[in-house]
Structure 1
Amino acid sequence: MSALTAQKPEAAPAAGGRWIEHWAPDDEVFWNTTGKAVARRNLVWSIVTEHLGFCVWLLWSIAVINLGKVGVTLDVGQQLWLTTVPNLVGAFMRVPYTFGPARFGGRNFTIISATLLLIPCALFVYAIGNPDLPFWALLLIAATTGLGGGNFASSMSNITHYYPSHKQGLPLGLNAAGGNIGTSVTQLTMPPLIVAFGLVAVGWVWMPLVLVAAAGAYFFMNNLRTATSAYTIREMGRISRERHTMIMSILYIGTFGSFIGYSFSFGVLIKNQFPEVQAAHFIWLGALVGSVARPIGGLLADRIGGARVTFWNFLVMAAGIAAVWFAVNAGSWGLFLAAFLLVFATTGIGNGSTYKMIPAIFRRKALEGIDEADGTAVESAVATARRKAAAAIGISSAVGALGGVLIQQTFRISLTEAKSVVPALLVLAAFYCVCVVLTWAAYLRKTGPDRRSLADAGV
């Protein structure tokens, strides 16, 4: 029995038991007798809250094309700002939200982050009821939906602490997929809801669900005492400058940045390239496919390694973009849709595999030079690794969301300046090839006296 399996099992903390003083998921006895059930319960309500966060985050992307129905007239530039600002705010909010679970406790901050979603919903209802509001006021109201984008970072950094290092891929993938699929849910359900009840329903519909999520977190989630050593801003800055944090942030631009950027842009691209197609009938498919694929990426990463999955996934992403380019040139709607859905699937798989890599990288670094027989030293190193990984996840998620803005702007510049989507596709394919090389150089290339790669060490 290893040093990490020497702890005595404890009785499982009750649902809503507030604080858990001892948490050792890498202890096999503890995990099988106590940890697994508690982790799953917290994961469920984390998924619910994060899902609603994404739904609210995407609220204006659907509403903006229907504002004319309530007497709000905007030009194309103003409409684009109303969809871009929430993305920007959501990206920046992910940094402070990363601190939330460590500072206040995972349960407590989930309650807070869920309740805050009432603000953008209520302000949206107010805006629709007052169509004479100036554009700057609409912009500020739209910006508050960025609170929903921040939920991802707090949710992921919290769930990281609950699962054993070698089993984090699937739960992190499920947690993220549950949030990501909120994008598709909003795009699918809002148009018929608007037809049936009017645009104001887009704000009202989420409020009771948000209250249910907050109540679920209150009654069924827990805080981990071992995860409350919050990093200061200075320490967070130091982690952000670490080599692997920067590398993983770039890779996450390629995965999540692509997912959110394509989700915001897919309808515009369909309308631009195939104007005869009803974009609203297909826009939700991309986000759905990308969301469902995310836990698959995590599961594959658990089995064969995150770095290997990420490497091959970026190759397929580049090939998928090439297929999109071919479909555009051929004027084939069927091939365009199939190729883009393949790309969406790879964004999800890559999201799952990269988030598996981050905890594995920091765990490996923390255990370098540690005697595995020294249980105290190992436990301390693993705890430090979990805190660093949670911080790195928050940083990477923020950078990735900003990457989505860059992708939106790449398409905008390509369509307005070159009158074609092809230049944007070439830039994206080249970037994915860079990610292939970066993944190989950092994690698959065999180095050191034992000629092993980081992937061989479990990354």
Structure 2
Amino acid sequence: MNPGFVEDKQRHRITNWDPENTNDWESGGSAIARRNLIWSVIAEHVGFSVWTLWSVMVLFMPTDVYGISAGDKFLIGAVATLTGSLLRFPYTMATTRFGGRRWTMFSAIVLVIPVVATIAILANPGQPLWMYLACAALAGFGGGNFASSMTNINAFYPQRLKGWALGLNAGGGNLGVPAVQLVGLLVIAWAGNRAPYWVCAVYLVLLAVAAVGAALFMDNLDGPGVDMAAMRSAIADRDTWLISLLYIGTFGSFIGFAFAFSQVLSLNFIEAGDTPAQASLHAAQIAFIGPLLGSIARVYGGKLADGIGGSRVTLAVFGGMIVAASILLIGESIAIQAVGFIALFILSGMGNGSVYKIIPSVFDAKSRSLPLDEVGRANYSRAMSGAVIGIAGAVGGLGGVGINMALRQSYMSTGDAAIAVMVFAAFYAIAAAVTWRVYVAVPRKREDAAMVAESAKISL
């Protein structure tokens, strides 16, 4: 049988797309979705690298040369995180308005600006703090790529595969964090901590690859998507904000620690007797491991959630994060601190995948109670899921701002991260309670009630 969708290869445009239609999916739909997923991952990966570029650049900024304190470096990370998070709101609607292919091309090309600006500002040490903050804010545009990429891929895949597809898309994007840190490590080992422009040069090339690949291999989907009406409906929905709270704990932790981990390690190595140059190298040798494992864990968190449910995986994740935070509080050596942070990366990565599985599941279930036909329910679920993906991504990213600001204040007040870690642990406990009450216990009670009612009908 011929598929129901129409693919205009010359214009890179697809109409009548319905991934839930098994015939369409098996008659070429899966190959189209996979091709778009691959290049979405590549573009998002590079975007994440540019977003977190300053987590590496601070290692190239000795205080005696640039006049930037440890507290200033945490602030730089917070500003980049803030910009990237806030931009996720407009980026969520961009693929509906402009098309996934067109927006992916644009979002890659525009990142050339902060990369070039970074080269220029670091080549001239001694600039006022606001210039570094402005440059970090521009790099934050890379954080917006996540929302448009996830909304786009959500539309390409059927409900039964969304956990895996969204987990792979986000996990591949998240790998941009350890990738840029690994590039930074190689540059420091090869050219020392005074040649940051080599890191930027690598990403100028990769941005070109992402933009050209999107132009050649991605498609624009015609049909309902995320618009202002969907955003307004999502904003008014209680689940949007509860899911956003959970995502603050998972993604907020991941991106916040991604910016802060190298700086925390560097401070610890300096306290242990390293020179700033030695501390930068030693921190870079470890810092990429946490984001790397966390990014990989995101894929498996989504896949595990497909099998046993996003809420159950999320509840287990928050329990584990409380334990990992406790390790940070009781461990004083650099090794134990590194283990604690890496455990938080892995668990938050799994939680990122499982929380994003909750989103389409919740709104697919809600669509079943609406007076709509199958097409109407699919459109509702697709639009609402896409809107909540963007909102939760933005609000969750703001958790990364909180991570950096809490660590900044903790170091300025006491010289270590203990107070901040206690705040993190308390938040994880709250998130675990919400997950249990709203997404594990209540749905289970409803299922039990439905089973009792069905049994009663049978006995009658």
Aligned to 2:347: 346
Change (3 A) 1:320 1:68: closer
Deviations 1:326-378 (A, max 9, x none): 223xx4x443333322221111110000111101111111121558xxxxx11
5+ unaligned residues in a row in structure 2: which ranges? 273-278, 452-460
Aligned to 2:328: 324
Secondary structure of 1:24's partner? Answer: coil
Q: How many residues align?
A: 437
Change (3 A) 1:16 1:365: farther
Aligned to 1:429: 425
Aligned to 2:455: none
Separation in structure 2 between the aligned mates of residue 306 and residue 185 of structure 1, nearest angstrom:
28
Separation in structure 2 between the aligned mates of residue 10 and residue 34 of structure 1, nearest angstrom:
10
Which of 179, 196, 203 is the equivalent residue of 1:199? 196
Aligned to 1:67: 61
Superposition RMSD in Å = 2.4
Separation in structure 2 between the aligned mates of residue 65 and residue 148 of structure 1, nearest angstrom:
20
**1:221 and 2:218 correspond:** yes
Change (3 A) 1:282 1:369: same
Aligned to 1:336: 337
Change (3 A) 1:16 1:206: farther
Q: CA deviation at 1:126?
A: 2.5
Aligned to 2:148: 154
Change (3 A) 1:318 1:101: same
Change (3 A) 1:121 1:392: same
Q: 38-47 or 240-249, which moves further after superposition?
A: 240-249
Aligned to 2:396: 400
Change (3 A) 1:433 1:390: same
Change (3 A) 1:64 1:110: same
Native 8 Å contact 1:257 1:404 kept in 2: yes
Q: 140-149 or 267-276, which moves further after superposition?
A: 267-276
Separation in structure 1 between the aligned mates of residue 144 and residue 176 of structure 2, nearest angstrom:
14
Q: CA deviation at 1:54?
A: 0.9
Aligned to 1:181: 175
Separation in structure 2 between the aligned mates of residue 163 and residue 241 of structure 1, nearest angstrom:
26
Matches within 5 A, 1:264-413: 264-273=259-268, 275-276=271-272, 278-328=282-332, 331=333, 333-370=334-371, 377-413=373-409
5+ unaligned residues in a row in structure 1: which ranges? 1-6, 372-376, 454-459
Amino acid at match of 2:449: R
Change (3 A) 1:248 1:210: same
Separation in structure 1 between the aligned mates of residue 215 and residue 101 of structure 2, nearest angstrom:
7
Separation in structure 1 between the aligned mates of residue 25 and residue 64 of structure 2, nearest angstrom:
54
Separation in structure 2 between the aligned mates of residue 273 and residue 309 of structure 1, nearest angstrom:
33
Native 8 Å contact 1:173 1:296 kept in 2: yes
Secondary structure of 2:67's partner? Answer: coil
Q: CA deviation at 1:427?
A: 1.9
Aligned to 1:118: 112
Separation in structure 2 between the aligned mates of residue 130 and residue 452 of structure 1, nearest angstrom:
68
Q: CA deviation at 1:8?
A: 5.6
Aligned to 1:457: none
Which of 428, 435, 439 is the equivalent residue of 2:435? 439
Q: CA deviation at 1:452?
A: 6.1
Q: TM-score, normalised by structure 1?
A: 0.89
Amino acid at match of 2:414: A
State, as a whole percentage, how many aligned pairs show the same letter.
Answer: 38
Change (3 A) 1:215 1:254: same
Separation in structure 1 between the aligned mates of residue 64 and residue 108 of structure 2, nearest angstrom:
28
Aligned to 2:94: 100
Aligned to 1:451: 449
Native 8 Å contact 1:180 1:287 kept in 2: yes
Separation in structure 1 between the aligned mates of residue 248 and residue 240 of structure 2, nearest angstrom:
12
Native 8 Å contact 2:55 2:258 kept in 1: no
Change (3 A) 1:12 1:220: farther
Aligned to 2:457: none
Q: 434-443 or 335-344, which moves further after superposition?
A: 335-344
Aligned to 1:144: 138
Secondary structure of 1:82's partner? Answer: helix
Q: 430-439 or 134-143, which moves further after superposition?
A: 134-143
Q: 31-40 or 291-300, which moves further after superposition?
A: 31-40
Deviations 1:238-295 (A, max 9, x none): 4123110000000000100010111112123334456437322211111011001000
Q: CA deviation at 1:199?
A: 2.0
Q: CA deviation at 1:192?
A: 2.7
Separation in structure 2 between the aligned mates of residue 416 and residue 132 of structure 1, nearest angstrom:
22
Native 8 Å contact 2:91 2:145 kept in 1: yes
Q: 413-422 or 62-71, which moves further after superposition?
A: 62-71
Q: CA deviation at 1:28?
A: 1.2
Q: CA deviation at 1:122?
A: 1.7
**1:30 and 2:24 correspond:** yes
Separation in structure 1 between the aligned mates of residue 321 and residue 74 of structure 2, nearest angstrom:
26
Native 8 Å contact 2:95 2:148 kept in 1: yes
Native 8 Å contact 2:226 2:386 kept in 1: no
Change (3 A) 1:334 1:353: same
Aligned to 2:241: 246
Separation in structure 1 between the aligned mates of residue 70 and residue 178 of structure 2, nearest angstrom:
23
Change (3 A) 1:11 1:82: closer
Separation in structure 2 between the aligned mates of residue 174 and residue 448 of structure 1, nearest angstrom:
31
Amino acid at match of 1:221: M
